[in-house]
Amino acid sequence: MLDDPQKSVYELIGGGETIRRLVDAFYRRVGEHPGLKPLFPADLTETADKQYLFLTQFFGGPPLYSQQYGHPMLRARHLPFPITPERAKEWLGCMREAMDEIGLSGPIADHMYERFIQTAHHMVNKAES
């Protein structure tokens, strides 16, 4: 999966610059997605910044999110929002498209996407209505 097991995913994909490009591409999609847009504030700047900090840490970079906000407590922070299996699928679709847009491919992208799948499924907190 990883060419150099001594390096983190963060390092292997090019660090913060790549994470920033991914987050920007992702939130352009979220901001236009009819199923996801209602869950997010109109101005996605702060949300995107938090995701940048989180993904940096999540993929083995500096613990920026924890330094600024404490433990991520991802599921607890998402409980106020109705996250259905369909919304998780839509979120994943936006992320896959963002990954494709910035050119993340191959085994490292597959590994990252698997981590996103696990996380998205863990966030589901409401059945479809």
What structural domains and CATH numbers belong to the chain? Answer: 9-123 (1.10.490.10)
| End-to-end Cα, the chain, rounded Å | 38
- Is the CB of residue 108 less than 8 Å from the CB of residue 2? yes
Amino acid (1-letter code) at residue 49: D
Give the pLDDT confidence score for residue 5 in this predicted structure. 73
Give the pLDDT confidence score for residue 128 in this predicted structure. 83
Mean pLDDT by 10 residues, the chain (129 residues): 77 97 98 94 96 98 96 92 95 98 96 98 91
- Is the CB of residue 45 less than 8 Å from the CB of residue 78? no
Give the pLDDT confidence score for residue 2 in this predicted structure. 58
Give the whole-angstrom CA distance, residue 100 versus residue 122.
23
Give the pLDDT confidence score for residue 37 in this predicted structure. 93
Give the pLDDT confidence score for residue 26 in this predicted structure. 98
Give the pLDDT confidence score for residue 4 in this predicted structure. 67
Give the pLDDT confidence score for residue 3 in this predicted structure. 62
